[in-house]
Amino acid sequence: MSLVSAFFAIIRRDLILAFRRRAEIANPIFFFIIVVTLFPLGVGANPKLLQAMAPGIIWVSALLAVMLSLDSLFRSDFDDGSLEQMLLSSHPLTVLVFAKIIAHWMVTGLPLLVVAPLLAIFLGLPEQALGTLLLTLVLATPVLSLIGSIGVSLTVGLRRGGMIISLLVLPLYIPVLIFASNAVEMAGNGLAVDAQINILIAIFFMSAVLAPLPAAAALKMSVN
């Protein structure tokens, strides 16, 4: 099997397994919806307050929803021995890891793109900020999966690594959260967001190039 065929075979396999275990798709979405809808109950139904808090609410909820699903990125492969087969494969492990990250984003990050605009309208986010919200989600949710793969790789051999993953990746998520939520907030106020979007693009490309390398190295250490 060629490298390209192996790359798409891993994506296809992970998507099939995810649709067989629909909870992997439903849990992050339901968590995202529940967290966003609970905020008005906690802070009150003040429209101006919710509108001002909407960018932060949506992005914090999206970040937590992705973190909720990180542990499943390599866990099933580790349990059934598929991860060892990947390590023994003649193909570069970084490419195979990148394929799994893409599949993880398609299962967790992509559904958030569909739900987020509806929740943004629910919170009263201005219409001119919806496009920026979607753009930040498109650029930054893959970054969450890419960075998260490093933490998952370091803890895949642990039985309860969920808390450790959070401690490892949460500090690395903070710049993404700051620039993404700030871009949506400024777009809602009618201000330019070119600087924030350019920074998110740079973070996206840096993560796409660099994250699979330490993730693959950490997998080798964790399995061995």
Three state DSSP letters for the chain: CCHHHHHHHHHHHHHHHHHHCCHHHHHHHHHHHHHHHHHHHHHCCCHHHHHHHHHHHHHHHHHHHHHHHHCCCCHHHHHHCHHHHHHHCCCCHHHHHHHHHHHHHHHHHHHHHHHHHHHHHHCCCCHHHHHHHHHHHHHHHHHHHHHHHHHHHHHCCCCCCHHHHHHHHHHHHHHHHHHHHHHHHHHHCCCCCHHHHHHHHHHHHHHHHHCHHHHHHHHHHHHC
Residue with tokens 């001119």: 128
Residue 148, SS3? helix
Report the chain (224 residues): mean pLDDT per 10 consecutive residues.
86 88 82 90 82 91 89 80 83 91 92 91 90 94 93 79 78 93 92 94 95 90 75
Give me the domain span that covers residue 115: 3-223
Q: Looking at residue 1, what is its pLDDT?
A: 66
Residues 6+ apart with CB under 8 A from 9: 1
Q: Looking at residue 162, what is its pLDDT?
A: 65
**φ, ψ for residue 115 (rounded to 5)?**
-85, -35
Max CA separation in the chain (angstroms): 59
Residue 73, SS3? coil
Q: Looking at residue 193, what is its pLDDT?
A: 93
Cα–Cα distance, 77 to 173 (Å, whole number): 25
Write the pLDDT tens digit of every residue in 47-83.
888 888 999 999 999 999 998 888 888 887 887 778 8
Q: Looking at residue 130, what is its pLDDT?
A: 92
Residue 86 C-alpha from the chain's centroid: 23
Cα–Cα distance, 60 to 194 (Å, whole number): 22
Q: Looking at residue 81, what is its pLDDT?
A: 79
Rounded to 5°, angle at Cα 50 from 107 and 45: 115
Gap between the terminal Cα atoms of the chain: 25
Provide the domain count of the chain: 1
Tokens of 77: 């492969």
Q: What's the pTM?
A: 0.90
